[in-house]
Amino acid sequence: MRVLGYMSGTSLDGVDAAILETDGAGVTGFGPALMLPFGAEERRVLEQATEDAIASDGHGPRPASFAEAERVIHDVHVRAARELLAQPDAGTIELVGFHGQTVLHRPERRLSIQLGDPDALAVALGVPVVADLRQADLAAGGQGAPLAPIYHAALAEWAGCARPVAFLNIGGVANVTAIARDGSLAAFDVGPGNGLIDQLVQARGLGRYDEGGRLAAAGTVDRGVVERLMASPYFTRTGAKSLDRYDFPLDAVAGLADADAAATLTAFTVAAVVACRAQLGEASADWHWIVCGGGRHNPVMMAMLAEALGRVDSSDTLGMRGDFIEAEAFAYLAARSVRGLAISFPGTTGAPEAMTGGVTYRG
Ligand SMILES: Nc1ncnc2c1ncn2[C@@H]1O[C@H](COP(=O)(O)OP(=O)(O)OP(=O)(O)O)[C@@H](O)[C@H]1O
Ligand SMILES: CC(=O)N[C@H]1[C@@H]2OC[C@@H](O2)[C@@H](O)[C@@H]1O[C@H](C)C(=O)O
């Protein structure tokens, strides 16, 4: 099957779209991929919906801003598909995997809100759209996240990675998929990823993110602050666990100068990854770490990770498309969904058993 997968992540940078060829088990090929950035006004609408989601915490009537946010999500996804499908090697797609825009994630209440209109998308694109991929897992008592692990496993097969190997996605939130020597999967959200760094840079009027890690490179890590941040019980919790993008507050670095604050938050992201090794089950030194997501573009973060973890590679050095692995994952999950294959597992989301999931919308 040739499937178009979408992801618009918690960083609110834009919509990733990627075409994947898969039978729902293996990866057989890749079509083109692109990222369509949100415009400033589109981002403002999505930020408003996110703020309203957090303020209502999922209680009471649906915030009015959700409808406008869904229009934005729809428009950008349709535009992304048109651009992608106009590329000469795009071919014809048979199916779409649509994540939607997460505005709130409260797994302990079996709640995770992704905005979007999959039915309208199916009409606009003229192919079936698989969405609501987190809901069955949540309803069964799983975390509803992360869902990419089964794709990471397929990608590791495709790339011929020796085990044990760990995929570390550093987006707005960081998540890990550990593939043990025997092929078993353990996965969870690790910590803050780039989210707090982005928030700092934006709050201080220094851009949208710490481009090239330049700010962090000029600063000094405040170890006391990192220690205080690492005191959160989240980091010693074992088993399946997942985060909302706004679960960690920015206040801890309020008293620090810009560069020191950026360096400290970068070190916090890395400290959370280091702490997660205690839950991976095999000797820490044996793991090969494959880093994907936007954080791998930050050389300060990559250097800190390499120093702490040992064998660390960017996904791209293994022939993978590190900016599109999540979009490819949702293509893969859509294919699994229509084939009735499981998309989440006790070791990845804490679901009681291997779970199928996703709803197919035909428009
Ligand atoms: N050149 C760069 N230098 C430093 N940081 C970068 C660079 N490019 C991207 N990033 C970081 O990566 C982030 C985007 O990462 P990504 O697209 O993987 O996140 P996401 O998919 O939105 O989040 P999530 O995976 O949590 O849903 C940016 O907000 C920024 O913090
Ligand atoms: C609720 C939600 O949207 N979570 C995202 C977020 O971004 C990274 C991390 O937190 C991960 O748990 C998840 O996305 C990826 C694609 C996943 O489900 O695997």
pLDDT tens-digit readout, 90-148: 999 999 999 999 999 999 999 999 999 999 999 999 999 999 999 999 999 999 999 99
CATH number at residue 174: 3.30.420.40
Q: Do 38 and 125 sit in the same domain of this protein?
A: yes
* Beta carbons of 184 and 156 less than 8 angstroms apart: no
Q: Do 46 and 117 sit in the same domain of this protein?
A: yes
Q: Which among 209, 300, 321 is the best mutation to test ligand 1's pocket, defined by most ligand atoms within 8 Å of the CB?
A: 209
Whole-prediction pTM: 0.98
Q: According to the model, what pLDDT value does residue 282 have? A: 74
Residue with the nearest Cα to atom 25 of ligand 1? 171
Q: Do 123 and 177 sit in the same domain of this protein?
A: no
Any ligand 1 atom below 6 A from CB of 173 = yes
Alpha carbons 58 and 342: distance in angstroms, whole number: 28
Atom of ligand 2 nearest to the CA of 189: 12
Q: According to the model, what pLDDT value does residue 285 have? A: 80
Q: According to the model, what pLDDT value does residue 284 have? A: 75
Using alpha carbons, select from 156, 188, 233, 110 the residue that is nearest to residue 349. 188
Centre of ligand 1 from the C-alpha of residue 305, in Å:
16
Q: Do 133 and 171 sit in the same domain of this protein?
A: no
Nearest bound ligand to the CA of residue 171: 1
Any ligand 1 atom below 6 A from CB of 294 = yes
**Residues flagged as binding site:** 9-16
Residue 344 lies in a domain: no
Q: Do 133 and 200 sit in the same domain of this protein?
A: no
Q: According to the model, what pLDDT value does residue 60 have? A: 96
Over residues 138-166, mean pLDDT: 98
Q: Do 131 and 166 sit in the same domain of this protein?
A: no
Using alpha carbons, select from 9, 5, 6 the residue that is nearest to residue 209. 9
Atom of ligand 2 nearest to the CA of 112: 1
Residue 107 lies in a domain: yes
Residue 38 lies in a domain: yes
Domain count, the chain: 2
Phi, psi of 126 (to 5 degrees): 70, 20
Any ligand 2 atom below 6 A from CB of 155 = no
Any ligand 1 atom below 6 A from CB of 198 = yes
Residue 324 lies in a domain: no
Q: According to the model, what pLDDT value does residue 309 have? A: 95
Where do the DSSP E strands lie in the chain?
A: 2-8, 14-22, 27-37, 95-106, 111-115, 129-131, 165-170, 174-179, 185-191, 288-292, 312-314, 359-361
Residue 155 lies in a domain: yes
**Alpha carbon distances (Å) from 201 to 37, 223, 253, 264:** 19, 20, 12, 13
Residue 276 lies in a domain: yes
Q: Do 85 and 177 sit in the same domain of this protein?
A: no
Structure tokens at 355: 């779970």
Q: According to the model, what pLDDT value does residue 281 have? A: 78
Q: Do 249 and 127 sit in the same domain of this protein?
A: no
Concatenated DSSP letters of 170-233:
ESSSEEEEEE-TTS-EEEEEEE-TTHHHHHHHHHTTS-SS-GGGHHHHTS---HHHHHHHHTSG
Q: Do 215 and 86 sit in the same domain of this protein?
A: no
Domain range holding 311?
149-318
pLDDT tens-digit readout, 248-289: 999 999 999 999 999 999 999 999 999 999 999 777 788 999
pLDDT tens-digit readout, 183-229: 999 999 999 999 999 999 999 999 999 999 999 999 999 999 999 99
Residue 327 lies in a domain: no
**Alpha carbon distances (Å) from 330 to 117, 307, 336:** 16, 32, 10
Q: According to the model, what pLDDT value does residue 61 have? A: 97
Atom of ligand 1 nearest to the CA of 12: 22
Q: Do 153 and 262 sit in the same domain of this protein?
A: yes
CB neighbours (10 Å) of residue 48?
17
Q: Do 156 and 245 sit in the same domain of this protein?
A: yes
Q: Do 160 and 294 sit in the same domain of this protein?
A: yes
Q: Which among 15, 104, 194 is the best mutation to test ligand 1's pocket, defined by most ligand atoms within 8 Å of the CB?
A: 194
Residue 27 lies in a domain: yes
pLDDT tens-digit readout, 24-43: 999 999 999 999 999 999 99
Q: Which among 6, 11, 46 is the best mutation to test ligand 1's pocket, defined by most ligand atoms within 8 Å of the CB?
A: 11
**Complex confidence, ipTM:** 0.99
Centre of ligand 2 from the C-alpha of residue 146, in Å:
5
